[in-house]
């Protein structure tokens, strides 16, 4: 793996930080979000945005975003659960925002020189802050937190470990989700995957999870084809 630190130029002619693209983490509980007040010396300094930075080669967006949030704000990765992705693709360079909900006590603070402060803000106050250009453009895609997506798998679909790993890591494109699944403004949802040993437990698990989130069931490999 090589470092992605460096400047590059996208297909639109902008200069961007991150040779392999960049990723950021938006922690949200649906009412408040964690934002970083960027240090004055940084690119577009003295603005507010998400924790994040350059992706290393071979580093998926979630891994990069959690690593950067740990470096910049001492965030404990296990204290958040990534629920979806919003990718802003410029051609040759992209910024992926990982939207995550807190599952532990998230008390971020500025942990290195890249931040003046890192703290929770009410969602309704975000538009009143001086925002980093990239975050400002993405914000309306990010502010509606979708309910957790559960992928309940049984039958032969449960044996396709390679594809299930890919779905866990890269998520499911919004356009490929069944109708009725709400993704907010995100273009991918990251499913929590439950592999069940038989069709009865698949149905029971799907029924139980539908009380706490959105559920997609896959039984045949063809069901996974539709999601991949
Ligand atoms: Zn660009």
Query: Mean pLDDT, to the nearest integer, of 161-167?
Result: 94
Please list, in sequence order, all residues whose beta carbon lies within 8 angstroms of the beta carbon of residue 211, skipping any fewer than 6 positions away.
Answer: none
Question: What pLDDT is attached to residue 43?
Answer: 85
pLDDT band at 65; cut points 50, 70, 90: very high
- Four-point Cα dihedral 40, 45, 46, 51, nearest 10: -110
Is the pLDDT reported for residue 1 higher than 90? no
Per the CB < 8 A criterion, the answer to whether 8 and 21 are in contact is no
C-alpha neighbours within 13 Å on the C-beta side of residue 222? 0
Q: How far is the CA of 86 from the centre of ligand 1 (A)?
A: 15
99/120 Cα distance (integer angstroms): 14
Q: How far is the CA of 108 from the centre of ligand 1 (A)?
A: 29
The H-or-E segment that residue 51 falls in is strand 51-54
Q: How far is the CA of 92 from the centre of ligand 1 (A)?
A: 8
Query: Mean pLDDT, to the nearest integer, of 211-226?
Result: 95
Identify whether residues 15 and 115 lie together within a single domain: yes
Query: Mean pLDDT, to the nearest integer, of 167-196?
Result: 96
Q: How far is the CA of 12 from the centre of ligand 1 (A)?
A: 5
Number of domains the chain is built from: 2
Buried b (16+ CB within 10 A) or exposed e, 14-27: eebbbbbbbbbbbb
Identify whether residues 126 and 212 lie together within a single domain: no
Q: How far is the CA of 117 from the centre of ligand 1 (A)?
A: 26
Identify whether residues 115 and 182 lie together within a single domain: no
- Which residue range forms the structural domain that includes residue 199? 149-227
* DSSP string for 97-152: EEEEEESS-------STTEEEEEEEEGGGGGGS-B-HHHHHHHHHHSS-PPPEEEE
Question: What pLDDT is attached to residue 212?
Answer: 96
Q: Given the structure tokens 């690593």, which residue do they identify?
A: 67
Query: Mean pLDDT, to the nearest integer, of 91-113?
Result: 94
Looking at 106, 124, 142, the residue that finishes a domain is: 142
Q: How far is the CA of 57 from the centre of ligand 1 (A)?
A: 19
Query: Mean pLDDT, to the nearest integer, of 51-58?
Result: 95
Q: How far is the CA of 9 from the centre of ligand 1 (A)?
A: 7
Query: Mean pLDDT, to the nearest integer, of 39-59?
Result: 94
Lowest mean pLDDT among 74-88, 103-117, 205-219: 103-117
pLDDT band at 167; cut points 50, 70, 90: very high
Identify whether residues 62 and 91 lie together within a single domain: yes
Q: How far is the CA of 91 from the centre of ligand 1 (A)?
A: 7
Identify whether residues 125 and 174 lie together within a single domain: no
Pick the closest to residue 73 from 110, 48, 39, 47 (CA basis): 110
Question: What pLDDT is attached to residue 122?
Answer: 98
Query: Mean pLDDT, to the nearest integer, of 19-32?
Result: 97
**Residue 58 belongs to some domain of the structure:** yes
Q: How far is the CA of 60 from the centre of ligand 1 (A)?
A: 19
Identify whether residues 166 and 108 lie together within a single domain: no
pLDDT band at 209; cut points 50, 70, 90: very high
Identify whether residues 128 and 156 lie together within a single domain: no
Q: How far is the CA of 103 from the centre of ligand 1 (A)?
A: 33
Query: Mean pLDDT, to the nearest integer, of 29-36?
Result: 97
Q: How far is the CA of 167 from the centre of ligand 1 (A)?
A: 27
- The reported pTM is 0.94
Identify whether residues 183 and 121 lie together within a single domain: no
**Residue 214 belongs to some domain of the structure:** yes
Residue 45's SS3 state is coil
Q: How far is the CA of 209 from the centre of ligand 1 (A)?
A: 40
Per the CB < 8 A criterion, the answer to whether 193 and 151 are in contact is yes
Q: How far is the CA of 50 from the centre of ligand 1 (A)?
A: 17
């Amino acid at each position: 793996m090589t470092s992605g630190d460096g400047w590059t130029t996208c297909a639109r002619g902008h200069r961007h930080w991150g040779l392999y693209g960049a990723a950021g983490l938006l922690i949200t509980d649906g009412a408040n979000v964690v934002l970083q007040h960027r240090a004055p010396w940084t690119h577009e300094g003295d603005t507010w945005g998400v924790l994040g930075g350059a992706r290393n080669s071979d580093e998926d967006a979630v891994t990069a975003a959690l690593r950067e949030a740990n470096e910049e704000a001492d965030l404990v990765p296990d204290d958040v659960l990534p629920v979806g992705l919003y990718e802003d693709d410029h051609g040759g360079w992209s910024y992926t925002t990982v939207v995550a909900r807190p599952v532990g006590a998230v008390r971020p603070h500025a942990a290195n020189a890249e931040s003046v402060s890192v703290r929770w803000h009410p969602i309704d106050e975000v538009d009143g802050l001086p925002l980093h250009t990239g975050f400002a453009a993405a914000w309306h895609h990010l502010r509606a937190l979708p309910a957790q997506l559960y992928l309940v798998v049984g039958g032969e679909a449960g044996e396709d470990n390679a594809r299930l790993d890919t779905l866990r890591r890269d998520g499911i494109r919004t356009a490929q989700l069944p109708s009725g699944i709400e993704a907010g403004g995100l273009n991918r949802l990251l499913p929590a995957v439950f592999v069940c040993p038989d069709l009865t437990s698949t149905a029971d698990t799907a029924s139980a999870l539908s009380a706490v989130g959105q559920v997609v069931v896959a039984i045949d490999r063809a069901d996974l084809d539709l999601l991949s």
